[in-house]
Amino acid sequence: MSDAALSQRIEQAEQSRLRARLGAYWALIKSKQTLLLLATGLAGYLSARPAAGTAAAAALMSLALFATISGTTALNMVFDREIDAQMGRTAHRPLPSGMLSAREAALFGGLLVAAGLAPAFWLSRPFGWVIVAGIGLDLGVYTLWLKRRSPWSIVFGGVSGGMPILAGRALGTGAVDGLGLLLALSVLLWIPAHILTFAMKYADDYRRAGVPTWPAVYGFDSTRRFIAASNALRALSLVAAGWWLSICPWSLGLLALSGVVTVGLSVRAARRPSAALNLRLFKFASVHMLGSMLLLTLGALL
């Protein structure tokens, strides 16, 4: 092999390793989940119809939310690395697979959180403090305290998931208000359909890892009823938020219709359970979340 060919191979190998490391860091932030929560934050901000709002403020808000959500997710991966190593679904993640060290991931997550909090407090103190509350609930209460102890940890995980939309609303209005809390509640009520469908599908994984999920403690039938009830309450909370915002009638109608479809699907899953229907409910939950945010935002702005 010539020196030129050998150098080319070495260069290709180095580029491959670099791409793999960059991909590992990207995997730490769970991009789909992060972007979905970012969409809720934007919806909360735009729901306020901020008179002094600018494209620059919206961009900086998005940067702050993206960085803090991503950083918190990465830190969660650090704390959960032993659990992830015991579960087939998560064993390939960057930390249990050895692609990144816990120190590297912790530094990455910490820097992202710090990089997000700086512009957050520069924009608005209420905005920054709501984000801090979300980080504390997620890492301190949900991950470190309750996740390994109680199936009710999902409630606190859901509350932290509602912080981006509450923060966006607080930035738009200058304070935490009743509508912001209602919007945060709608995200909290989305969490069961998002997480518990997964907990049923991967029940054996969670059991091996020693994580007390709702299906493991209360049974699958109870879990399906819980999902159906939370979806019904979520549909009502979204319609109530749309009514409170006085969004345009077609947005409110579509919001109500999408809620009816979601409730119908979850009731069907409770009455005639199947793995296929459970997976369909999981996928639809995220679509419904994103669609609801779009309808609330467009309905408020039109």
Predicted pLDDT of residue 134: 96
**CATH code of the domain containing 190:** 1.20.120
Residue 272: both structure tokens together: 């005639």
Residue type for 220, please?
F
Q: How many domains does the chain have?
A: 2
For residue 2, being part of any structural domain is answered with no
Residue type for 286, please?
S
Nearest-angstrom CA–CA distance, 108 and 77:
11
**CATH code of the domain containing 62:** 1.10.357.140
For residue 48, being part of any structural domain is answered with yes
Q: Which of 175, 198, 227 is a domain's end point?
A: 175
Q: Which residues contact 4 (CB under 8 A, 6 or more apart)?
A: none
Predicted pLDDT of residue 302: 78
pTM of the model: 0.93
Looking at the structure, tell me whether residues 122 and 256 fall in a common domain: no
Looking at the structure, tell me whether residues 27 and 136 fall in a common domain: yes
Q: Which of 154, 175, 196 is a domain's end point?
A: 175
Predicted pLDDT of residue 292: 94
Nearest-angstrom CA–CA distance, 247 and 253:
10
For residue 26, being part of any structural domain is answered with yes
Looking at the structure, tell me whether residues 203 and 238 fall in a common domain: yes
Looking at the structure, tell me whether residues 107 and 86 fall in a common domain: yes
Nearest-angstrom CA–CA distance, 279 and 101:
32
Q: Which residues contact 43 (CB under 8 A, 6 or more apart)?
A: 165, 168, 183, 293, 294, 296, 297
Query: Containing domain of residue 197, as a range?
Result: 177-302
Looking at the structure, tell me whether residues 75 and 168 fall in a common domain: yes
Residue 64: both structure tokens together: 């702050």
Looking at the structure, tell me whether residues 302 and 201 fall in a common domain: yes
For residue 30, being part of any structural domain is answered with yes
Burial state string for 108-141 with b = 16 or more CB within 10 A and e = fewer than 16 = bbeebbebbbebbbebbebbbebbbbbbebbbeb
Could you read off the pLDDT of 18-77 as tens digits, one per residue? 788 999 999 999 999 999 999 999 999 999 876 656 788 889 999 999 999 999 999 999
Predicted pLDDT of residue 154: 87
Contact predicate 143/190, CB 8 Å? no
Looking at the structure, tell me whether residues 215 and 241 fall in a common domain: yes
Q: What angle do CA 164, 166, 167 make, to 5 degrees?
A: 60
Contact predicate 301/49, CB 8 Å? yes
For residue 4, being part of any structural domain is answered with no
Q: Which of 175, 197, 220 is a domain's end point?
A: 175
Nearest-angstrom CA–CA distance, 164 and 34:
10
Q: Please list the ranges in the chain whose pLDDT falls under 70.
A: 1-13, 15, 50-53
Looking at the structure, tell me whether residues 79 and 164 fall in a common domain: yes
Looking at the structure, tell me whether residues 149 and 31 fall in a common domain: yes
Select from 100, 40, 114 the least CA-distant residue to 70.
114
Looking at the structure, tell me whether residues 42 and 108 fall in a common domain: yes
For residue 5, being part of any structural domain is answered with no
Contact predicate 88/207, CB 8 Å? no
Looking at the structure, tell me whether residues 100 and 182 fall in a common domain: no
Looking at the structure, tell me whether residues 259 and 292 fall in a common domain: yes
Q: Which residues contact 3 (CB under 8 A, 6 or more apart)?
A: none
Predicted pLDDT of residue 283: 87
Other CB atoms within a 10 A radius of the CB of residue 174 amount to 14
Give Cα 213 distance to the centre of its chain: 18
Predicted pLDDT of residue 295: 93
